[in-house]
Amino acid sequence: MNEALKNILTRRSVRRFENRPISRENLAQIAEAAIQAPSAMNRQLNQYTIVTDPAKIAKLAAAMGKELGRADYDLYKPAALILCTAPRESKFGREDCACAMENIFLAAHALGIGSVWINQLMNLCDAPGIREVLTELKVPADHLGWGTAALGYGPQESLGASKRTDAIVWAD
């Protein structure tokens, strides 16, 4: 099978990560895939904030956990996070980030790195305790977090979790 298609068909979310860093080179390749994603009117308004310091990841997780009322919240303890954010006034920030997120997941998978989308920041990024941490992480103050990619080495969830083939409708 075509390698790119095989990569798409074999990607699955990973939610348990080894305590093993991802090389800067690999993270740069994944980030490059993000910036190559399509964006509405090619405005390229997203920022991709890469966080690898375990203390910074833990600090963000703790701030989110506090808002969520979940003391054990750990963002799955990934080796890295990529925060996909866009200016608040960007009409298509959510869509632009979604395209970039899938590129991130596919690039990571092609490099043997697992990933999963974490959604919670979307609703929490304006909570004061979280905005403070985002600012420390160099996320612009006017940006909304539309998607967070957690990345690391770990077991993929089963390909057996089947996809809905009836979602494909040929109207010829």
Ligand X SMILES: Cc1cc2nc3c(=O)[nH]c(=O)nc-3n(C[C@H](O)[C@H](O)[C@H](O)COP(=O)(O)O)c2cc1C
Verify binding: residue 153, ligand X, rule CB under 6 A. Answer: no
Query: With contacts defined by CB under 6 A, how many residues of the chain interact with ligand X?
Result: 9
Residue 76 half-sphere exposure, CB side, CA atoms within 13 Å?
25
CA pseudo-torsion sign 7, 108, 153, 60: negative
Verify binding: residue 13, ligand X, rule CB under 6 A. Answer: yes
Cα three-residue angle 31-32-38, rounded to 5 degrees: 100
Sort strands 114-118 and 143-152 into parallel, antiparallel or unpaired: antiparallel
Residue of the chain from 12, 56, 59, 131 that contacts ligand X (CB under 6 A): 12
Ordered strands of the 80-87 beta sheet: 47-51, 80-87, 143-152, 114-118
In the complex, the smallest distance separating the C-beta of residue 170 from ligand X, rounded to whole angstroms, is 23
Q: Which stretch binds ligand X (CB under 6 A): 16-24, 50-58, 112-120, 132-140?
A: 112-120
Q: Which residues pair with 145 in a beta bridge?
A: 85
* Tokens read off for 11: 């990607």
Q: Which stretch binds ligand X (CB under 6 A): 2-10, 77-85, 115-123, 134-142?
A: 115-123
CA nearest to 98, candidates 34, 14, 8: 34
Instruction: Choose between 4 and 28: whose C-beta lies nearer to ligand X.
Output: 4
In the complex, the smallest distance separating the C-beta of residue 119 from ligand X, rounded to whole angstroms, is 3
- Residue 118 sits at φ, ψ, to 5 deg, of -120, 125
Instruction: Choose between 49 and 114: whose C-beta lies nearer to ligand X.
Output: 114
Q: Which stretch binds ligand X (CB under 6 A): 9-17, 20-28, 36-44, 85-93?
A: 9-17
* Tokens read off for 76: 């799955």
Residue of the chain from 118, 121, 124, 151 that contacts ligand X (CB under 6 A): 118
Verify binding: residue 74, ligand X, rule CB under 6 A. Answer: no
Name the site residues for ligand X (rule: CB under 6 A). Answer: 12-13, 15, 116-120, 157
